[in-house]
Amino acid sequence: MAKLKPSKGAPYARILGVGGYRPTRVVPNEVILEKIDSSDEWIRSRSGIETRHWANDEETVAAMSIEASGKAIADAGISAEQIGGVIVSTVSHFKQTPAVATEIADKLGTNKAAAFDISAGCAGFGYALTLAKGMIVEGSAEYVLVIGVERLSDLTDLEDRATAFLFGDGAGAVVVGPSQEPAIGPTVWGSEGDKSETIKQTVPWTDYRSGEVEKFPAITQEGQAVFRWAVFEMAKVAQQALDAAGITSDELDVFIPHQANERIIDSMVKTLKLPEHVTVARDVRTTGNTSAASIPLAMERLLATGEAKSGDTALVIGFGAGLVYAATVVTLP
């Protein structure tokens, strides 16, 4: 019986660089209120959101990804030719095939990098980060580009009072590379498909194509059910990620949860009993919920503003449609 050669990957993987892109158009709550019966105070009190960014025609999923990726590659101090894999997490690229990752890999100038898309909603960044880590440790790539990108304005029903104010557009990217010490902890991830109806697309694309419905499909959710699940169940997952990494909340420097809703963030901080010294990402206030892009965008902003610094230990957790989730502890680049 033939024996396979052992993999020649790195012993560990780490995030080496981060970059973000937010569309130029800033949309305040007043614009949202033109089509729903609500108030700025209600939106802020329910979500913490003050503004969000919406993409124009030129700010496509690919274009935003390329901008964010260029910054991440520069931040990592490598060249695009060294990228061996490109993973894009998105639910708002409207071409079923080919994967937008292939276009991004080509336009960035990679040397025929492996490239593919995944769909894991707001947990997509965590899923992609875990896959990238595996590629590096296994030895199939030395550097992997992970991108979370969304144009959720295309999937927003501006007349839906429960969701019209939530979503924004943007792209966040990180370069993952080899490390001689652990810098991306074990991932605690999973799915609860029995709750898939709580966040979903209103109708399949085929119903719109056939004319069974006239309204373009949008994202809808059962707000209270999602809130309860996120607050109670995801706090448990976050704690499991800390335990898996072998650290306590006292040893944590930064908490970067999915930027879904500031009330959810506050409740998770309380449930986890995070010490006051822990910096908490609150990018949702000015960026809104950007699904797969929210964690890398929040990470990029914390580092850019100095609220977090290189070498800090951060707990990241994403959760959303599926319902799916992914949490891990990372060392910031």
pLDDT, tens digit, for every residue of 70-93? 999 999 999 999 999 999 999 999
What residues contact residue 271 under an 8 Å CB cut-off, 6+ apart?
Answer: 231, 232, 235
Q: Please give the structure tokens belonging to residue 298.
A: 């929040």
- 139-198 pLDDT tens trace: 999 999 999 999 999 999 999 999 999 999 999 999 999 999 999 999 999 999 999 999
- The tens digit of pLDDT for each residue in 20-64 reads 999 999 999 999 999 999 999 999 999 999 999 999 999 999 999
- pLDDT of 79: 98
Paired tokens of 309: 């610094």
Q: Given this model, what pLDDT does residue 68 score?
A: 98
Cα–Cα distances in angstroms (integers) from residue 177 to residues 2, 38, 85, in the given order: 31, 46, 11
CA distances from 332 to 9, 55, 215, 295, 328 (A): 21, 28, 43, 12, 12
Give the pairing of strands 188-191 and 324-331: antiparallel
Dist CA 75 CA 145 (whole Å): 12
Hey, what's the torsion of the CAs at 292, 294, 299, 302, to 10 degrees? 170
**CA neighbor of 199 nearest in space, from 166, 168, 236, 169:** 166
Q: Which amino acid is at 241?
A: A
Yes or no: say if 257 and 267 are a contact pair by the CB < 8 Å rule.
Answer: no
- pLDDT tens-digit profile of 265-320? 999 999 999 999 999 999 999 999 999 999 999 999 999 999 999 999 999 999 99
- How do residues 244-264 score in pLDDT, each as one tens digit? 999 999 999 999 999 999 999
pLDDT of residue 249: 95
Contact 241, 317 (CB under 8 A): yes
Q: Partners of 191 in the beta sheet? A: 324
What CA–CA distance (Å, rounded) separates 187 from 241?
A: 7
- pLDDT tens-digit profile of 32-41? 999 999 999 9
Q: How confident is the model at residue 327 (pLDDT cuts 50, 70, 90)?
A: very high
Q: What is the per-residue pLDDT for 6?
A: 81
Contact at 8 Å (CB) between 292 and 121?
yes
Residues tagged active-site: 122, 258, 289
Which phi and psi angles does 275 have, rounded to 5°?
-65, 160
For residue 3, what pLDDT band results from cuts at 50, 70 and 90?
A: confident
Look at residue 81 in the predicted model and tell me its pLDDT: 98
- The conformation of residue 233, written as its DSSP 8-state character, comes to I
- Cα separation, 332 vs 8, whole angstroms: 25
pLDDT per residue over 135-150, tens digit each? 999 999 999 999 999 9
Calculate the alpha carbon distances from 172 to 124, 144, 188, 241 in Å.
Answer: 12, 14, 22, 22
